[in-house]
């Protein structure tokens, strides 16, 4: 089975990362009011909210129903100087290198009850401190890599021309303070950056930890300021910012579902902040969901957009990818409206797709493969 995609929660100490992670995973991450509470990274596997899966389950009435999942990793707080080993910098930066995307938690709530590493709360400054440490860490990796590679390039300049131009372009961007995600790297480029240990190419969103009284407000100062940072310096458009109150989210997770809905109605919110963080992370990673129903088990799967049918089958089991023959495909809406693959086949609505078919978001698929 393909490895689950992982999102790393990063930020300065005491911004609410562990509280958020604790609520996300209903786990046991230690939450306290002092820096470096999180010494080791904590990992939680989170179900992706999925209204389509719920509708399909009501229609097909399976014996088992399993949602898609994403890993969230709570990475200890970064401090200024982390790229040169300050705090627990080397350990923390190493943990970030393992994730596929970054959820940068930024404190936007006022007050002195919770200690802050600086004297005041400034969302933009705090975000830029962390971004600078990621840039400096990438520059150091590339400096060492270029020293090593230049010796290889001298032996065969023509063969290594593309490699040389690409890495030197990375270096020039980083020296200007521009993260590598400005290149909008594709899947292969992201894999290469991950293998090299580079951090700033990873997709990133901000999670603004706001005060309880600000939740649901139309103009939250810290949120608006983070949005204006854009995806990277000089880029058009706004940064992706998901406002949450980590304190309220944790309180919500302590309630049973009915009480939770009542509390949310009182607060005037339709979806928990955690659901919005999960969905935003799902979109940030460029994922789509498809569904399978086999042996009375309904299951959602996450795959990168554009994945072809054999590779999607390999998400379930590598034998299915190797022995792939064809896929029977229907849309979520067709199965919802007609109730079963058998009925769709009878109506002539079931499609047969081959190895070049790219799975679409919401597809319900039955794979045919040789054993």
- Nearest alpha carbon to residue 216 among 239, 248, 262, 240: 248
CATH number at residue 258: 3.40.50.300
Q: So what's the pLDDT on residue 250?
A: 81
**Domain's final residue, options 284, 314, 335:** 284
Q: So what's the pLDDT on residue 3?
A: 58
Residues of the chain with pLDDT under 70: 1-3, 25-41, 77-92, 111-116, 216-219, 233-235
How far apart CA 96 and CA 10 sit, in angstroms, is: 8
Q: So what's the pLDDT on residue 71?
A: 85
Could you tell me if residue 289 is inside a domain?
no
Could you tell me if residue 219 is inside a domain?
yes
How far apart CA 96 and CA 78 sit, in angstroms, is: 11
Co-location of 186 and 102 in the same domain: yes
How many C-beta atoms lie closer than 10 Å to residue 76's C-beta?
26
Measured over the CA atoms of residue 135, residue 137, residue 142 and residue 147, the dihedral's sign is positive
How far apart CA 281 and CA 6 sit, in angstroms, is: 9
Q: So what's the pLDDT on residue 29?
A: 37
CATH number at residue 339: 3.10.20.30
Could you tell me if residue 348 is inside a domain?
yes
**Domain's final residue, options 251, 284, 317:** 284
How far apart CA 153 and CA 266 sit, in angstroms, is: 64
Q: So what's the pLDDT on residue 193?
A: 93
Could you tell me if residue 221 is inside a domain?
yes
How far apart CA 112 and CA 122 sit, in angstroms, is: 13
Q: So what's the pLDDT on residue 42?
A: 76
Alpha helical stretches, state H, the chain: 17-25, 51-60, 89-96, 123-155, 161-175, 187-196, 221-228, 246-253, 257-267, 273-284, 309-316, 318-322, 332-338, 341-346
How far apart CA 82 and CA 137 sit, in angstroms, is: 8
CB 100 within 8 A of CB 5: yes
Could you tell me if residue 300 is inside a domain?
no
How far apart CA 124 and CA 129 sit, in angstroms, is: 9
Phi-psi region of 307 (alpha: psi -120 to 50; beta: other; left: phi over 0): beta
Question: What average pLDDT does the structure give for the chain?
Answer: 84
Q: What is the pLDDT of residues 325-360, one digit of tens each?
A: 999 999 999 999 998 888 998 999 999 999 999 999
Co-location of 254 and 365 in the same domain: no
Non-local CB neighbours of 207 within 8 Å, separated by 6+ positions: 9, 20, 103, 104, 105, 106, 241, 242, 244, 277
Could you tell me if residue 301 is inside a domain?
no
First to last CA, the chain: 16
Distance (Å) of CA 221 to CA 40, 88, 210, 232, 261: 32, 31, 10, 20, 28
Co-location of 236 and 319 in the same domain: no
Co-location of 91 and 219 in the same domain: yes
Could you tell me if residue 292 is inside a domain?
no
Distance (Å) of CA 242 to CA 11, 67, 126, 192: 14, 22, 16, 28
The domain of 121 spans 6-52+67-284
Co-location of 78 and 114 in the same domain: yes
Query: Which residues on adjacent β-strands are paired with residue 6?
Result: 71
Domain count, the chain: 2
Co-location of 222 and 93 in the same domain: yes
Could you tell me if residue 93 is inside a domain?
yes
Co-location of 310 and 278 in the same domain: no
Co-location of 183 and 317 in the same domain: no
Co-location of 245 and 323 in the same domain: no
How far apart CA 228 and CA 214 sit, in angstroms, is: 19
Co-location of 77 and 213 in the same domain: yes
Co-location of 80 and 119 in the same domain: yes
Q: So what's the pLDDT on residue 80?
A: 66
Co-location of 39 and 80 in the same domain: yes
> Tell me, what DSSP letter sits at residue 216?
T
- Using only C-alpha atoms, the chain has a radius of gyration, in whole angstroms, of 23
CB 288 within 8 A of CB 300: no
């Amino acid at each position: 089975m393909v490895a689950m995609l992982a999102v790393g929660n990063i930020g300065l100490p005491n911004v609410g990362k562990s509280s958020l992670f604790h609520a996300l995973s209903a786990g046991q991450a230690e939450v306290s009011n002092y820096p470096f509470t999180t010494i080791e990274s904590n990992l939680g596997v989170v179900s992706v909210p999925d209204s389509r899966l719920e509708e399909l389950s009501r229609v097909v009435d399976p014996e088992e129903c399993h949602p898609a999942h994403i890993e969230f990793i709570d990475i200890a707080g970064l401090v200024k100087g982390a790229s040169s080993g300050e705090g627990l910098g080397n350990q923390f930066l190493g943990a970030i290198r393992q994730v596929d995307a970054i959820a940068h938690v930024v404190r936007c709530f006022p007050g002195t009850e919770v200690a802050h590493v600086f004297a005041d709360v400034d969302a933009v400054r705090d975000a830029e401190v962390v971004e600078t440490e990621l840039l400096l860490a990438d520059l150091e990796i590339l400096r060492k890599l270029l020293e090593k590679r230049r010796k290889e390039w001298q032996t065969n300049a023509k063969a290594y021309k593309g490699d040389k131009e690409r890495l030197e372009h990375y270096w020039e961007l980083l020296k200007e303070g521009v993260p590598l995600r400005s290149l909008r790297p594709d899947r292969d480029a992201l894999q290469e950056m991950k293998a090299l240990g580079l951090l700033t190419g990873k997709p990133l969103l901000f999670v603004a930890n706001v005060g309880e009284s600000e939740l649901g407000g139309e103009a939250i100062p810290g949120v608006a300021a983070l949005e204006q940072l854009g995806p990277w310096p000089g880029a058009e458009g706004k940064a992706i910012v998901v406002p949450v109150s980590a304190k309220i989210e944790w309180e919500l997770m302590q309630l049973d579902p009915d009480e939770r809905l009542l509390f949310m109605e009182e607060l005037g919110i339709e979806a928990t902040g955690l659901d919005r963080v999960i969905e935003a992370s799902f979109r940030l990673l460029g994922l789509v969901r498809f569904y399978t129903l086999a042996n009375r088990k309904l299951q959602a799967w996450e795959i990168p957009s554009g994945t072809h049918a054999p590779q999607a089958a390999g998400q379930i089991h590598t034998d299915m990818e190797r022995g792939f023959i064809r896929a029977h495909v229907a849309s979520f809406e067709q199965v919802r409206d007609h109730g079963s693959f058998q009925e769709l086949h009878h109506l002539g609505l079931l499609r047969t797709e081959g190895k070049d078919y790219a799975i679409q978001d919401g597809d319900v698929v039955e794979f045919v493969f040789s054993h």
